[in-house]
Amino acid sequence: MSVGRLVGLGPAAPFLIAFLRPAGLGISWRCFGPRLRWIAAGLGFTAGLLSPLTLLSLTTTPFSLTLLAFTLLAFTLLALTLLAFTLLAFTLLAFTLLALTLLALTLLALTLLALTLLALTLL
C-alpha cells in the first residue's frame, strides 16, 4: 500500500493495516475497483481533515479532550464503514462476518458522533 493511499485513508489507515494484514485476509487494493478506491480515499481524507478541525475548535479542558477522543474514534470507525459495505458487496461469503462486525462498529461510531455533537452544542 503506497504512502499516498495511506494518507488518503486518514485516521483509519493504521487500523486497516493492523487489522487486515495479520488476519491473513490478503485484502489488496487490487480487489477494489478504481471508483471505490477514490471513494475510500475521499472519505478518509475528509475524516482526516475534520479531526484536526475538531481539535482546533475545542479547548484543552479534560471534558473537551474526552469529546475529542470520542470524535476521533467516531470518524475512524466511520472510515471503516466503507470497507464493511465493500466487503458485503464485492467479496466472498467468508468476509460477511467481518463486514457485519464493522457495520456494528459503525453504528457505535454514529452513536458516539451524535453524543459528541450533542455535548458540543451544550458547551
Q: Which of 76, 103, 104 is nearest to 15 (CA)?
A: 76
Burial degree of 14 (CB within 10 A; 0-12, 13-18, 19+): exposed
* C-alpha cell of residue 53: 478541525
How many domains is the chain built from?
A: 1
pTM of the predicted model over 0.85: no
pLDDT value at 78 more than 50: yes
The torsion of the CA quartet 73, 76, 82, 84, rounded to 10 degrees, works out to -60
Instruction: List own/partner pairs for 114-118 with CB under 8 A and 24 or more apart.
Output: 115/70, 116/67, 116/70, 116/71, 116/74
- Predicted confidence (pLDDT) per residue in 36-72, tens digit: 555 555 555 555 555 555 555 555 555 566 666 666 6
| The amino acid at 36 | L
**Which range marks the domain in which residue 63 is found?**
3-122
